[in-house]
Structure 1
Amino acid sequence: MGLLLCKWWITLWMAALHPFYVSVTEVTHNAAKRELEVSCRIFTDDLENTLKAQYKTTFDITRPANRAQVEGFIADYLSKHLQLTLDGKPVALHFLGYKIEEDAVWSFLEAEHIAAPRQVAVKNDLLYTQHPSQINMMHIIVGGVRKSVKLDNPKSDALLHF
């Protein structure tokens, strides 16, 4: 038990000394529905602090007094910092909502009437202004084929072919 507790404290201490900043976004083309389904996972404190700085306000993202306002901040922020272009055409993503799960905010977006793309261009600079060491992982799934890309700040663009 003592060794386990010691390992836990070392891990906690290392994390405090070397914080990491990462988001994970998954984009799935649902052929049956002709939709893009997007989920984006960002650490709660990182997203909340970024939104507070961006919109010059205070709120609690986990227990908001005005959830619609917080959803508006998240939707606006994501629309400016996460963009997709399919086969050369920009795609408008519709924000569906968010949920808190453990230490992360999961945001959900979709686009309708989307044919399976052959080429997906991504622009993802989420949290780059707040965290110079931010990493944004992207997973794109089209026709059952999954391709991933890691975007290290300041790199924000990627092009994937299917």
Structure 2
Amino acid sequence: MVFTLYKRLMRVGFLLFLVTAALSFAKAPHPFFVSVTEMEHNAKDKTVEISCKVFTDDFEKALTKMANQKVDLYHPKDKTQLDKWVTQYIQTHLNIMLDGKKMPLQFVGFEIEDQSTISYFQIDGVSVAPKKVVVDNTIFYDQIDKQIQIVHCLVGGNRKSSRVVYPEERLEFSF
């Protein structure tokens, strides 16, 4: 009986330790630096839909540096201006070529999800599924030398994924 009570107390103590540790990490800066870009060819709409997910605090630092003023993604003072800065930053640091042709990214919008910011773009007029996709991704390379870029690319139901680590920037997918 004493042994059973001891085991229960140890379990409770361990659970309290885990909860405390988790909460302390939630307040601390994240220990890794990664962006995740998802691309999907939408044959019906003749577009390539793109989402780019990054840590919000890193994005605010990058936008603040670019805009030469404090940028707050959670509580923007001027949403129109913020949309322009998000567009400018991503279009500068994410370049996509489809079958050898550099494609313009059209800004759709962005949203905050927990500690991440997801920005949405699309490429119009892609009536034929691309055979080769080249992505040059330098998001946060101007401020973080441990940055990892993960890219998922879906064309014709075929999903391919790859990653690069600073200073590498180019990913190539063949379909």
- Contact kept in structure 1, 2:47 and 2:124, CA below 8 Å: yes
* Runs of 4+ displaced beyond 6 Å: none
CA RMSD after TM alignment: 1.7
Identify which of 70, 78, 90 aligns with 2:82.
70
Q: How far 1:159 moved relative to its partner?
A: 1.1
**Does residue 1:125 correspond to 2:138, yes or no?**
yes
Offset from partner CA, 1:66-107 (integer Å, 9 cap, x none): 011111111000011001000001111101111111111010
Q: Report SS of the residue matched to 2:142.
A: coil
Q: Distance in 1 between matches of 2:49 and 2:135?
A: 14
- Contact kept in structure 1, 2:63 and 2:71, CA below 8 Å: no
Identify which of 40, 53, 58 aligns with 1:28.
40
The alpha-carbon distance between structure 1 residues 76 and 18, as it changes in their structure 2 partners (threshold 3 A), is: closer
Between 1:49-58 and 1:5-14, the stretch displaced more is 5-14
Structure 2: any 5+ residue segments left out of the alignment?
1-11
Q: What does residue 150 of structure 1 align with?
A: 163
Between 1:8-17 and 1:62-71, the stretch displaced more is 8-17
Task: Give 1:97-108 correspondences, 5 Å limit.
Answer: 97-108=109-120
Offset from partner CA, 1:50-81 (integer Å, 9 cap, x none): 11012211121111010111111110000110
Between 1:112-121 and 1:8-17, the stretch displaced more is 8-17
Q: What does residue 5 of structure 1 align with?
A: 16
> What is the count of residue pairs matched by the alignment?
162
Q: Distance in 2 between matches of 1:17 and 1:64?
A: 22
Between 1:11-20 and 1:127-136, the stretch displaced more is 11-20
Q: Distance in 2 between matches of 1:50 and 1:39?
A: 18
Q: Distance in 1 between matches of 2:80 and 2:161?
A: 32
The alpha-carbon distance between structure 1 residues 85 and 153, as it changes in their structure 2 partners (threshold 3 A), is: same
Normalising to structure 2: TM-score of the pair? 0.87
**Does residue 1:51 correspond to 2:40, yes or no?**
no
Normalising to structure 1: TM-score of the pair? 0.93
Q: Distance in 1 between matches of 2:142 and 2:102?
A: 23
Structure 1: any 5+ residue segments left out of the alignment?
none
**Does residue 1:86 correspond to 2:98, yes or no?**
yes
The higher radius of gyration belongs to 2
Q: How far 1:135 moved relative to its partner?
A: 0.6
Q: How far 1:2 moved relative to its partner?
A: 3.0
